[in-house]
Chains A and B, each alone.
Chain A
Amino acid sequence: MSVILKDLNDYIAPSQACIKPVEVNKTSDNKNNVIKIDDSGGYYEVSLDGIETKLQTAQITLDDCLACSGCITSAESVLITMQSQEELYNVLKLNKEAIDGNKLDEKKTVVISIAPQSIASIAAKYDLTPLQVAKRLTYFFKSLGVHYVFDTSFSRDFSLLESAREFVERFRFYQEKQQKKDPVNNDVKSTRIKRNGTSGGGDEAMSEAKLPMLASACPGWICYAEKTHGFILPYVSQTKSPQQIMGSVVKDYLANKLGIKPNNIYHVGVMMCYDKKLEASRPDFFSEEYQTRDVDCVITTGEVVKMFEESDYDIKTSEESSLDNFTKTSQEEELLRSSGSASGGYLEFILEYTAREIFNITGVDVDKEQGVIVKAGRNKDFKEITLEIDGKPVLKFASAYGFRNIQNLVRKIKSNNSPYHYVEVMACPSGCINGGGQLKPDEKIPIKDWILHVNDIYRNVNSLSPEKNDVVLNLYSEWLDGIESEKSKKLLRTQYHAVETTLVNPLAVKW
């Protein structure tokens, strides 16, 4: 365990010991019993006649973590124990027992959704192409008894489209307000958007929506914002992350299509980041009706490699399986990604989409720095991208990665000094490609070079605009009753909750 903990690379580090008060369950009410502790840290209750009873170790769950204001982010040790490959092994074992015992109704359909950053990390480590990795992972998981293996690039297209639409909605409100206030002054400042005569759930949410809109795909950032900067939550995009949209696709669309109940699907995410486990545990993504999570378990890239070792599996020499797809298309044997940053390409897509939707400007390509002004920030993890019309800035976007840039952004928004309309916020320096769950380079390779290398591999996959992804567009009509429907808002968007800084127990105050 300590080895894993040492390797963790969570950039918003917990700064205090866990203050969650725990309950010690004593076995009896005998007042004369005392509690003793042995060298290995085990607790024993000793009764008067000298009988020792081992007491249970207190358990802290992910739910406890989410609800507690004690530390800034998650307690990693909890994350590791609550959702791990062990859980997946267990489900697969139970499945096997159900089949052997001919109790097919107890069998679960096991679905795995893999993030493209995880594929890039494994490809870099084993010197394979992303397509090879995807096919071999499909082979590997299926050989363990998994039924479907998907790529979350697919659900990310939903996330990008929804984010772009949400931004355009917000921006239009913002424009209206600006014009009412001052038709000449185009100064961009953080603005609270209010609209009169709103109707419907989505609009209600919009009345609180503010600019700049902040990306919501990074669970580390969301967790930090909820725990320490409640005021900033209305700025955060309500669009779900790719992982959680995949959750909706699998537990709603796929379950329907297969004619099974959501709780009969066990859905596992393979992710670049430990905080994705925390995201999967959010009560917002739990179905009361079926008592099931949209994503049941998340394992990191590093944990997948541990599974290789535990199964004596060699990905270098492995066989390959064909990729699973929701609908047969011509691109069956090809991996695709959205263009832009390896953190999902949110900034790029939203900017290009908005330029076209609002300003009728086509041909903007942020990646190639066409039609926009890209300005490097004070450090490599901060970038400003501006769209100008006749020399006047009309859209100002930024990407802010890592704790230091988040700090500066939060301070700017708080003091009403943010010049931005949209900020792609990620907790990790270098973004998702450098997530805490990713594989580490061999000792000889400097970490910076390694990140560049993984990034290159990621970006070498051909890109396709989400708006041209037929599978996604088909699902919008087949599954979501069309674009901007009630159903699409229900399934593709979410909300955030400020964690109240309650003084847990004055007796447990750390000083």
Chain B
Amino acid sequence: MPELINANPTIYTPSKKSHRVITPEEEDENIEDKIDSREVFDLIRSISDPEHPLTLEELNVTQLEHVTVDDNNDRIVIEFTPTIPHCSMATLIGLCIRVRLLRSLPERFKVDINVRKGTHQSEQAVNKQLNDKERVAAALENTHLLEVVNQCLTTANARGNIDK
């Protein structure tokens, strides 16, 4: 096992309140669900950190208030907070978020994924790479990288309900 880049991350307990209350309209299959920030957050909150058996939510990498959805204009902006400011995992975490959304959101959405301002040493470089679709497309043809991404996404369907 290679040396961990962030060996001792701070762990946060997800608030029970952050779980979605299902409304009768949502249960009605005949009504098309509006995509809102909670829905998008649910998709990404339980992605595993590449280095730890912890979810992005538990590490405070993703937070509901940093997901912005403009359903009418098909735009989503996600901001995430790397666990440490020089973390070389930031691009990988961002890639996991992007792949998760590519696979689960309706195609009409244009998604921007950015590191939260002031939380990473090379913020601009990370953002530029994550939002370059050619780089992302090429990365996903790299089987080693894809394995790691898929590994991180195995827990993503839990949508916040991980039994510990």
Contacts and interface: CB of A to CB of B under 8 A. Distances in A.
A and B touch in the complex (CB under 8 A): yes
Interface of A: 21-24, 26, 30-37, 43, 503-509, 511
By CB atoms of chain B within 10 A, which of A24, A30, A43, A503 has the most? A24
A505 B2 contact: yes
Given A31-B8, A34-B10, A37-B85, A509 B3 contact: no
Contacts of B121: 37
Contacts of B50: 507
Nearest to B141: A511
Contacts of A34: 10, 84
Given A21-B2, A24-B5, A506-B144, 16 more contacts: A22-B3, A24-B7, A26-B8, A30-B8, A32-B10, A33-B8, A35-B6, A505-B2, A506-B148, A507-B2, A507-B92, A508-B88, A509-B144, A509-B145, A509-B148, A511-B145
A71 to B, nearest CB: 16
B86 interface: yes
Contacts of A506: 144-145, 147-148
A20 to B, nearest CB: 11
Contact of B139 (A21, A22, A33, A511): A511
Given A506-B145, A507-B51, A511-B145, A23 B139 contact: no
B89 interface: yes
Given A35-B84, A37-B85, A37-B121, A511 B135 contact: yes
B23 interface: no
A90 B39 CA distance: 64
Interface string B117-152: 000010000000100000100110010110110000
Nearest to B88: A508
The 8 A-B pairs of least Cβ separation, nearest first, read A511-B139, A505-B2, A31-B8, A23-B3, A506-B144, A506-B148, A509-B145, A37-B85
Contacts of B95: 511
A507 B89 CA distance: 7
Contacts of A21: 2-3, 5
A507 B138 contact: no
Interface string B1-36: 011011110100000000000000000000000000
22 contacts: A21-B2, A24-B3, A24-B5, A24-B7, A32-B8, A32-B10, A33-B8, A35-B86, A43-B86, A504-B2, A505-B2, A506-B144, A506-B145, A506-B148, A507-B50, A507-B51, A507-B89, A509-B142, A509-B148, A511-B91, A511-B138, A511-B142
Contacts of A23: 3
Contacts of A508: 2, 88
Contacts of A509: 142, 144-145, 148
Given A26-B8, A36-B85, A511-B135, A503 B144 contact: yes
A511 B2 CA distance: 19
A296 B55 CA distance: 50
Interface residues of B, number: 27
A503 B148 CA distance: 13
Interface in B76-113: 84-86, 88-89, 91-92, 95
Instruction: Label chain B's interface by main secondary structure.
Output: loop
B63 to A, nearest CB: 18
A33 B147 CA distance: 31
B49 to A, nearest CB: 11
A30 B5 CA distance: 16
A37 B135 contact: no
Interface of B: 2-3, 5-8, 10, 50-51, 84-86, 88-89, 91-92, 95, 121, 129, 135, 138-139, 142, 144-145, 147-148
A23 B2 CA distance: 9
A36 B121 CA distance: 11
A285 B148 CA distance: 40
A493 B146 CA distance: 45
Contacts of B91: 511
A107 B14 CA distance: 66
Nearest to A31: B8
B7 A507 contact: no
Contacts of B145: 506, 509, 511
Given A23-B3, A31-B8, A37 B86 contact: yes
Nearest to A41: B121
A24 B88 CA distance: 13
Contacts of A37: 85-86, 121
Contacts of B51: 507
A32 B9 CA distance: 8
B121 to A, nearest CB: 6
B134 to A, nearest CB: 11
Nearest to A30: B8
Nearest to A29: B8
A35 B8 CA distance: 10
Contacts of A507: 2, 5, 50-51, 89, 92, 148
A23 B4 CA distance: 8
Contacts of A24: 3, 5, 7
Contacts of A22: 3
Contacts of B139: 511
A21 B4 CA distance: 9
A36 B84 CA distance: 8
Contacts of A511: 91, 95, 129, 135, 138-139, 142, 145
A279 to B, nearest CB: 29
By CB atoms of chain A within 10 A, which of B8, B92, B121 has the most? B8
Contacts of B142: 509, 511
B102 to A, nearest CB: 15
Contacts of A505: 2
Nearest to A17: B88
